[in-house]
Structure 1
């Protein structure tokens, strides 16, 4: 890659390993030499592009004297951090792929992966370039997927000041927020949302506290709500339920979902739904952070965009209420030892001034927290009632509420009645 802008030039390169067969091939950028299992990537039929981010933005440099191809063009005192610079480098490689004759690599079938600091990079690359069809960060830690507001309260996680000082990963402006993440105008769940509706497979390690996997699960759960609102709930996966705690290990638990994501988003031959497997060791609670309902997005007046249940690990069940006053649609996001259930209430042919949903939880399931509804209990048959802001529904209009629990939520049924 030879880049020239504003009279300044820089060059860097990337190697390509092709799978067997004849092209053109989809390809996955592997940042820094390791991420998701490259053997599985190639065996699935995708090429591997070996990207050296340190040639674009060097680590170990002070913030006022940054080095690498990006800073050769934009200046050593640029306030842009390494993660954005590394993403810029991949974007320039994609420019080259797009300008080629298309006989070797497919410009519309590109993925990215990386682990640890390079997992941070893979996440940033997928966020900042919409030409990436599949983003796969592994054990990204602070400055990666985990919510920044959650890091200070997660025991053993790398602190914001520590991450800001270790390397210039963050932009210089982040220095004002290392002690006040609540003052940030954004958080990483919104970066997850920026990847939507494209493919996203987040892999985390719950065995190393430093990696902040609990905050990572919250970012994924919150971002998945945006996927759901866009009708793309099946396009996001999260997996931290792994046995091997070795940092950046190749794990058998991730092999099948890795293959499925490559087939779906790069080869375009699969349609497997995304899945959430959250380790009980680092299980975040979305209800501790969420004070907003998931919107029902529409294309225009009177037109509702079809939606997909959040991480549809179970089919949606709709039970008409007496007189068809309303229906209750249940979707469950299940992982080992816990679950999140979302229930969508939809008015029938007449307007509603209030609603009551009666849900039957499976044996052993217990609600730990909920949002956007009052409830009568935590186990067995539970009655949910509307709040002051979501009870009035026009014909065909919907509102959602949800709850998080322990045990198994799969098999929950619900019915809806007016009032």
Structure 2
């Protein structure tokens, strides 16, 4: 059954004009050179003018959840027919979006009844009212040198692509705390944060969709600000680890994002759900679902049998097309499921190619350093090129697929469909002009802390554990008290038989017994109430670990 959503018809002609102009690239396993015509066409591929271009498309009703070990055909509509024109992708994408929300992420609500806020050179404030409920949150801003208005990259949780490289390339940084919008460490029936203050603590929507909703509201405020400081039409997003999962969801669900850059996102991020169970050492879906309420509540039915899902993450990759996408993965930590991630990228790249935008996707897992969420030299040049191409509109470097031999997936093992040659379809001009509300009032120079600080000075530490048979991964959050902290040490007494094998974003002393973790150069200074995170992997059991923090 197909039902109409009854949503307003809004269409951006820019994207389809660009898609029609682009030529289909060849094999994605090598870096290809772009022609002058292709370069000009690439510069036309821009973010959409609206959050969801397919809001007026019919969405599927009940669908059959038939087991299929192969990846679903991204070109096959729910009614069984395959798309044959590029213009049909808009509504096919809307079908995938509906299924992804229904079975994986939970519903990401449309723009609320009221979104207001302020933008300055140091901060953004967001105020939301919907369904008679209100909430607020804020984000920090760091501008590059030069004169604006600037494109900007939203960095989730302070972990993402190298911010120094981003600013040097000419883009601003928007520091977004996802936990202010959807807090971790909460039960599924009592979720907390700005999103759940509006849509209810028992909402079935997972944290990733809630985090994506928060970034969409930031873009709403950027649009209202008039673009004097930051350009709403040139926004990117990045995050690593759990925030890589979030960055991926942000780009998937908001077509105004011009460049999506998830890093080492692991299970519940880019890697295909169907591949994770068979990838040795990868975080099981049940673990990813249970660790935090990242995924929607409905996903619980699929943790043990993802083959019955009517969608998979290669289709989420495809939902970003033809916009810029740069997926970065780490093949050195089994937990991160990089082999399944490479399959997702290869599958999604088939849609990019069919749309004539094959040069707009980059996947890179061919790295030497195995440290989690490290700033890698291999990624610096493609990062600069993607910012220039999709945010600054000054470059035309082609994308590349660089898959490490350590974790190389084979798309042929996962699909029983072929990529069609899509004809150029007609375009429809937009029916609604862009929103240009009057400028907002200046915000306070220092946004309030988004999480309550410890009651005294010094620092505190909290920990979440991912345990599996024979090993675990720990994520530690360090929070300054009522006074700034300049340097910190976290002590973790390990039980007998447990040993630390790897750590990231931190220095460590020892591997067994009481292990001391000290800050690295970039995360030792914390303002009052500010937090940072580090992680470590170990053998044995991590149950019952109690970290303590000291400052100075």
Aligned to 2:305: 180
Whether 2:318 is the aligned partner of 1:193: answer yes
For the residue of structure 1 that corresponds to 2:289, the secondary structure is helix
For the residue of structure 1 that corresponds to 2:232, the secondary structure is strand
Is there any run of 5+ residues in structure 2 with no aligned partner, and where? 1-125, 427-552
Deviation of 1:101 after TM superposition, in Å, equals 1.9
For the residue of structure 2 that corresponds to 1:150, the secondary structure is helix
Equivalent runs, 1:326-405 vs 2, <5 Å? none
Aligned to 1:88: 213
Aligned to 1:246: 371
Q: 1:279 aligns with which of 375, 383, 404?
A: 404
Whether 2:327 is the aligned partner of 1:202: answer yes
Distance 1:300 1:184 in 2: 30
Distance 1:290 1:65 in 2: 39
Deviations 1:46-88 (A, max 9, x none): 0000000000000000000000000000000000000000000
Larger strand proportion, structure 1 or 2?
1
Deviation of 1:300 after TM superposition, in Å, equals 5.1
Task: Provide closer, same or farther for how the CA distance between residues 300 and 116 of structure 1 changes in structure 2, counting only shifts above 3 A.
Answer: closer
Deviation of 1:133 after TM superposition, in Å, equals 0.1
Distance 1:101 1:91 in 2: 16
Whether 2:267 is the aligned partner of 1:146: answer no
Q: Which structure would you say has the larger RCO, counting Cα contacts within 8 Å and 6 or more residues apart?
A: 2
Q: 2:389 aligns with which of 264, 268, 273?
A: 264
For the residue of structure 1 that corresponds to 2:138, the secondary structure is coil
Aligned to 1:364: none
Whether 2:292 is the aligned partner of 1:167: answer yes
Aligned to 1:112: 237
Count of aligned residue pairs for this structure pair: 301
Aligned-pair Cα RMSD in Å: 0.8
Distance 1:197 1:299 in 2: 14
Distance 1:16 1:103 in 2: 14
Equivalent runs, 1:116-131 vs 2, <5 Å? 116-131=241-256
TM-score when scaled to structure 1? 0.71
Aligned to 2:347: 222
Distance 1:79 1:208 in 2: 31
Task: Provide closer, same or farther for how the CA distance between residues 179 and 268 of structure 1 changes in structure 2, counting only shifts above 3 A.
Answer: same
Aligned to 1:132: 257
Is there any run of 5+ residues in structure 1 with no aligned partner, and where? 302-419
Aligned to 1:39: 164
TM-score when scaled to structure 2? 0.54
Aligned to 1:235: 360
Whether 2:52 is the aligned partner of 1:52: answer no
Runs of 4+ in 1 over 4 A off after TM superposition: none
Distance 1:65 1:33 in 2: 26
For the residue of structure 2 that corresponds to 1:86, the secondary structure is helix
For the residue of structure 1 that corresponds to 2:301, the secondary structure is helix
Distance 2:247 2:425 in 1: 35
Aligned to 1:369: none
Whether 2:130 is the aligned partner of 1:9: answer no
For the residue of structure 1 that corresponds to 2:135, the secondary structure is strand
For the residue of structure 2 that corresponds to 1:259, the secondary structure is helix
For the residue of structure 1 that corresponds to 2:274, the secondary structure is coil
Q: 1:77 aligns with which of 192, 202, 214?
A: 202
For the residue of structure 1 that corresponds to 2:128, the secondary structure is strand
Distance 1:281 1:250 in 2: 20
